[in-house]
Amino acid sequence: MTHYSRAHTFKPLSTFVQKTYPRVVQKKCTEFVAMHQPVLLEECLKYLGLKPGMTVVDATLGLGGHSSEILKAVGPDGYLFAFEKDEENLKVANERLKGVGKNFQIFHDSFDSLKDRLREKGVSHVDAVLFDLGLSSPHIDDPVRGFSFLKDGPLDMRFDRSHGRTAADLLNSLPEKELADIFFKFGEERASRKLAKAICEDRRKEKFVSTKQFADYVERVLGRGKPGRHRATKVFQALRIAVNEELTALELGLAQAIELLAPHGHVVVLSYHSLEDRIVKNLFKQLATNLRDPNDPFGARVLSKKSLSLLNKKPITPSAEEVSENSRARSALLRAAEKL
C-alpha cells in the first residue's frame, strides 16, 4: 500500500477519482495522488537498483505512487507487474500508470498468488520486487471502509470487499479463545483475554456493527489509553490483520518473490509495525546465512549456501522532515536484499 509524504505542485489527476470514491474522500484522494510522493521514494528506487529494460513487480500497488516512478525508471523496454486487492485503489492506480506508459499489468489479487499469476504470463524471473505494506490513505480517510475509528463507519476492514469475512463477522461469531489470540498475536494487546471475554458476553445483547461503537466499547472495558493513543488502536490493527490474513500472505508472498528473483535481483520491503518487520528480518537473515550441518563438530560442512545478501543491516527510516510532512510515515522501516 502507498503512504504519501513530500509535496509537489498540484495537478488534477482526472475525474476518475471523483467517480471512484465517495465525496468524503474525493478531495483528499485527489490531493494525495497529485501532490505527494510515496514514503521513502528515493530510497526505494535506489535499493531496487532499477535500470531501463528491467522487469519489476510492485506487490502492493496502492494508488500507484511507487509504481509510476518504477515505470519511468524501467522505460518503454521494461515491464511492470503489480498486485492490488482493493478494487477502488486499483482503478485509480491504473489511470495514473496509463499517464506514464502502457508497459504494465495489474492483477486484482493478493501477492501471495505472485508466483502463479506471473507464471501464467510466462514469467519465470524478475529483476526487482517491492512490497509497501500497510494501509493506503483512502482506507483511513473513507469511513465506509471501517479501518479507522476517527469517523464512524461499518466494521468492515476488508481490502477486497468482493469476498471474505468482515471485522464485524469475526467479533460477533468467533469463540473467546480465537478472539483473544487475534488481539494478542496481531495487536500485542496484553489485556486480550479480558477483552475477548467481555465481547463474547456482551454480543449476546447487542451485535458490534460500527467502528465508533466498538472503539468506545474497548475503551469502556480496558480503560483509556496513553495520551495521544486511543486504547482501541492495537485492537483495530489486530482485527485488520486477521480479516485480511496479512501476515500469512506476507510470509508466502515474500518467499515467492525471492524465489522468482533473477541473480543480482533486489527485493525491497517497507513495513509499518513490528510484526511485519520481524517476518521480513527473520526471512532475510535466514536466507543470508549458510545452513551448516549441526552434526559437524567443526561447523565447516554447509548443507545449503545462502541465497541472499543484505543490502542494509539495519532498517532505513524516514527523515524527520518526511515524518513532519506525513505522520503516517513515522513507523516505516525499509529492508532490502540482493539475490545471489
Residue 210 CB partners (closer than 8 Å, separation 6+):
152, 153, 154, 155
In the listed set 202, 223, 243, which residue is the last one of a domain according to the structure?
A: 243
Same domain flag for 259 and 235: no
Same domain flag for 82 and 225: no
Same domain flag for 273 and 230: no
Whether 146 is in a domain gets the answer: no
In the listed set 186, 219, 243, which residue is the last one of a domain according to the structure?
A: 243
Question: What is the domain extent for residue 125?
Answer: 4-138+246-339
* Count of C-beta atoms within a 10 Å radius of residue 205: 6
In the listed set 223, 243, 263, which residue is the last one of a domain according to the structure?
A: 243
Please provide the DSSP assignment of 284-305 as one string: HHHHTS-EE-TT-TTS--EEE-
- CATH number for the domain spanning 210: value is 1.10.150.170
Whether 280 is in a domain gets the answer: yes
Q: What are phi and psi of 293, to 5 degrees?
A: -70, 115
Same domain flag for 188 and 291: no
Whether 172 is in a domain gets the answer: yes
Round to whole Å and give the CA distance between 267 and 288: 13
Q: Count CA within 13 A, CB hemisphere, residue 322.
A: 20
pLDDT, residue 33, reads: 56
Round to whole Å and give the CA distance between 145 and 111: 21
Instruction: Encode pLDDT of 265-275 as tens digits.
Output: 999 999 999 99
Instruction: Encode pLDDT of 141-177 as tens digits.
Output: 899 999 999 999 999 999 999 999 999 999 999 999 9
Please provide the DSSP assignment of 202-254 as one string: HTTTS---BHHHHHHHHHHHH---STTS-TTHHHHHHHHHHHHTHHHHHHHHH
Instruction: Encode pLDDT of 233-287 as tens digits.
Output: 999 999 999 999 999 999 999 999 999 999 999 999 999 999 999 999 999 999 9
Q: How many whole angstroms from its chain centre is CA 83?
A: 11
* Count of C-beta atoms within a 10 Å radius of residue 156: 20
The pTM of this model reads: 0.88
Look at the chain and report how many structural domains it folds into: 2
Round to whole Å and give the CA distance between 264 and 3: 28
